[in-house]
Amino acid sequence: MELIIVLLVVIVAIIVSNIRIVPQAQAYVIERLGAYHATWGTGIHMMIPFIDRIRGRISLMEKLSDFEPQDVITKDNVKMRIDTVVFYQITDCKLFTYGVENPSFAIENLTATTLRNIIGELELDSTLTSRDLINSRMRTTLDEATDPWGIKVNRVELKNIIPPKEIQDAMEKQMKAERERREKILIAEGTKAADILTAEGRKQAMILDAEAEKEARIRRAEGEAEAILKVQNATAEGIRRINEATPSEAMIKLRSLEAFEKVADGKATKIIIPSDIQSVAGLVAGIKGIAEE
């Protein structure tokens, strides 16, 4: 009886020890009698004692491989060092387990080879300004190469591009010269804009002065025209009243004589007076003499 109990306890212990719980974002590769049997996903699973074994515990989360800087040579024979970062994820656990020995080491060497091939087709300037192009080409090449290994390359980033010291010095001088050139251009453009604004101001001032002079002349002309019109209206009114008063011939001649006096204005030395007005002038002189006595 005791032997049976012992056997039952041993059997239960063996069963319990062969129960496996696969956590989230992991997968277990199971071999049965030394051959691939299955890939267990998240959950509880039972192994057959002494027959099944776990070949590998694989993380399905995205992985990061940060490799040491690689020495590369550009198309124009410039040597530089480039630091690369690769983001990848395991999509097929069976291929990842049996496809390649030491996948991380294989990805590192494949990355270095691909990087040298791509940089060897580019010149220095293109290498420094074409990060996105290099990243895209490397990702595509690595993704195709690692597909038989059950690996998907999501992103490739060039973390650092380190050119030689003399190239760095030349680039700094070039950037300094470029900044000075841009500064001079900005100063010249500012001066030009200021001159244009000043000229525009003078132009507007001249236009305003001309318009003011024009307005003043118009106002003076209107004033003179109004004055002439008033004089003419007054003259016409005087003539109208004279006509209404039916003046005598002697009155008309007297008015004519007054007009001659105004014409002379004390400046003329000789005035020719018509004969019909002379008699009136004599009469007026006589009247003035009597009045003086």
Q: Where are the domains of the chain?
A: 2-59, 63-163, 165-246, 248-293
Q: Assess whether pLDDT exceeds 60 at residue 263.
A: no
pLDDT digits (tens, 9 = 90+) for 152-195: 999 999 888 888 888 777 777 878 888 888 888 998 888 888 88
User: Which pair of structure tokens corresponds to residue 117?
Assistant: 């091939």
What would the pLDDT profile of 212-256 be if each residue is shown by its tens digit? 888 888 888 888 888 888 877 877 776 677 666 665 565 555 565
C-alpha distances in Å from residue 112, one per residue of 84, 87, 106, 158, 195: 9, 15, 10, 12, 58
The CATH superfamily of 63-163 is Band 7 domain (3.30.479.30)
Q: What is the pLDDT of residue 264?
A: 54
CA distance 108 to 156: 12
Distance (Å) of CA 238 to CA 5, 27, 103, 190: 157, 126, 126, 72
Q: Does the model's pTM come out above 0.75?
A: no
